[in-house]
Structure 1
Amino acid sequence: MQLANRVAIPLRTLTLPEQTPEQQSIIVFHSTGSSNSQLSRPHSHTFFELFFVEEGEGWYSIGDRPIWAKPGDLFLLAPGEVHDPSGLDDATKWVVGFSAEALNPTRAEADMLLMLPDRLLNSFVQTENARTKHYYVPTEIRSRWLILLEQLKSELCDRGFGSTEATRALLILLLIETARLAASELPESKKSSPQARPIVKQVLCFIDANYRNSIGLQEVAKEVNLSPAYLTDMIRRETGKTVLSWIVERRMTEARRLLLETDLAVIQIAEAVGYCDAGYFSRLFRRLNGTTPQAWRVMYRG
């Protein structure tokens, strides 16, 4: 089958809708047919997304990779990943969007791999192969998924006593189901080793504590007493990203916070997150966030 040619549409980056403080970190969207034009075209998010097809078939694209989706298919999106669900406009689907605060209000996005049991969120990490984040929920367990999704949606709507805690617990259960599904489809040779996870945690903690300084692969490898080559292979295998990617991501997270919450000049922000060259920082920020630091500040403050 061939995808129909489409007129180019400006790419949008969506954020979680502004709600009360306890609501702003998660959304649940259940629909038959498209009821949001922003969601029914190529776009990316500043948050994580779980997209589950309940009924119907159609094309779903991650980046430039189209996949024919059917009932039971599950797609996982990390922040910043471009995807196009418009081929499933007429399908019945569930969308769960969440940020780090939904799991732990004191954590940043770069810390998510440290927050929960082994491999719980690894399946969301960006990879070169879109199919590694495309899973199938078998018919025999699909009712359990639908119950969890319905309960999650109900808690968000009702907002009764303990709803914040219940919402977090239900999201964690849903992510555990997702991680189990991902682990069951992963070749044995690619599964995480028990020895690797403490090193991943140590690497991410070191980056969090030192990203403001001039650090790179050599400094991180020295901290964990491994060769740069071996560490590079391990971190890429365990998380889907390189050590340098994690450093840049942590710096960009802090840069966005400073742009939003302070009036510091771009050159000051660049220095605050570890870049002595403000021009290089601005070019890198634009490549990763789609616009310049100053334009990002104006857009999000507006």
Structure 2
Amino acid sequence: MRGTTVPPGTPCLVPRPDEMPLHRLEVAGAGAPPFAAGSFDAVGPLSRSARPHRHTFYEIVHVTGGSGTHVVDLARWPLAPPHLAVLRPGQVHHWEHSRRLDGTLVLFTEEFLVDHPGDRELLRQLAARSWLRPEGGEGEWIGRLMAELVGEFRQRAPGYESVLRSLLHVLVVRASRLAGDPVPGVMAEGRTAAVAESFGRLIASREAVTWTVRECAERLGVSPGYLTQTVRAATGRSPGRLLIEARTRRAQRLLAHTELSVRQVAVRTGFTDPAYFSRFFRRETGLSPGAFRQHHARKHHGSVDQSLERG
């Protein structure tokens, strides 16, 4: 992905009218690793933004204090710290009614995972959960790991990049154990794991939501049967089901966060017939596209009004 890192202060992008603002990772300068870590205050006001937006990078946030609601892909997660959230590139999120947020954030692009490429699949699985609640000793070791990452990032002692990658790998693996997710290599071996991981990245792209399983298989260079076998082994679900869920999430984002008509949303999610799109959407969400839009418009406007009253 181009433009994943930028100098500090670079404005966020709005590449198309049907997309959310796009935040890129700010780095100190040329040659700096695509990584950052710190508190909400250290990372800056965008770390607690009340406006829906996307990232070009992964974000792991450990909330240790405060109140409010974290909204990820329209799922609402009321805060009851400690909480651990994992966001992958492209997910839409924002904070509602947040007050006194305290905790630590770790931000990094996919290229930073060069030493441990298998962590991409674990991060995808964690992002699907979005929000974990470590308790007791689990919360303590997450806090220590996050603090070590912040310390290494600040000190920048010789060899700090390799230390950051190692600590991040430990954090991802142990968070996956906390979530009960399988570790790549245990659930599948070699090419099987690679194909399943590639499919996960593929359906996260905007274009892929309009593709069929056969088209995805062709782009990955495998047969539809092999793709179905590997994805089901890795996730417990079929690629067709995952494509439907990705298409539904895409439609929800467009309805909730843009002013596109229902017909335009249908086209952008691969439907030529708006009536069929409406039936599909109601089947998957329980609401018509219009009702879904009205419901989330009321929620968003209420959030903005309350934040203005507090200000």
Normalised to the residue count of structure 2, the TM-score between the two structures is: 0.56
Q: What is the Cα deviation at residue 68 of structure 1?
A: 0.7
Alignment partner of 2:71 out of 54, 57, 61: 61
- 1:19-77 deviation digits (Å, cap 9, x = unpaired): 24553411113136994147422211001111211112221111222211111111111
| Aligned counterparts of 2:37 and 2:118: Cα–Cα separation in 1 | 21
| Structure 1 residue 165 corresponds to structure 2 residue 158 | no
Which residue is 1:5 aligned to? none
> Is 1:216–1:244's contact at 8 Å kept on the other side of the alignment?
no
Find the residue that maps to 2:25 and give its secondary structure.
coil
> Is 2:195–2:230's contact at 8 Å kept on the other side of the alignment?
no
| Structure 1 residue 136 corresponds to structure 2 residue 133 | yes
* Structure 1 residue runs without a partner (length 5+): 1-9, 106-113, 209-214, 246-282, 285-302
| Structure 1 residue 29 corresponds to structure 2 residue 38 | yes
Letter in 1 for 2:54: S
> Is 1:74–1:135's contact at 8 Å kept on the other side of the alignment?
yes
Which residue is 2:123 aligned to? 121
Which residue is 2:61 aligned to? 51
Once the two structures are superposed, the pairs formed by residues 66-215 of structure 1 within 5 Å of their partners are: 66-104=76-114, 115-116=117-118, 120-125=122-127, 127=128, 132-183=129-180, 194=186, 196-198=188-190, 199-202=192-195
Which residue is 1:249 aligned to? none
Which residue is 2:15 aligned to? none
Find the residue that maps to 1:91 and give its secondary structure.
strand
Q: What is the Cα deviation at residue 232 of structure 1?
A: 5.7
Find the residue that maps to 1:85 and give its secondary structure.
strand
Find the residue that maps to 1:115 and give its secondary structure.
coil
| Aligned counterparts of 2:56 and 2:43: Cα–Cα separation in 1 | 21
How many residue pairs align between the two structures?
215
Letter in 2 for 1:201: A
Q: What is the Cα deviation at residue 196 of structure 1?
A: 3.7
| Aligned counterparts of 1:228 and 1:134: Cα–Cα separation in 2 | 28
Change (3 A) 1:137 1:77: same
- 1:149-169 deviation digits (Å, cap 9, x = unpaired): 111111111111111111111
Once the two structures are superposed, the pairs formed by residues 282-301 of structure 1 within 5 Å of their partners are: none
| Aligned counterparts of 1:240 and 1:180: Cα–Cα separation in 2 | 24
- 1:199-242 deviation digits (Å, cap 9, x = unpaired): 1314667999xxxxxx8345479846935654564465479897
Find the residue that maps to 1:178 and give its secondary structure.
helix
| Aligned counterparts of 1:44 and 1:194: Cα–Cα separation in 2 | 32
CA RMSD of aligned residues (A): 4.1
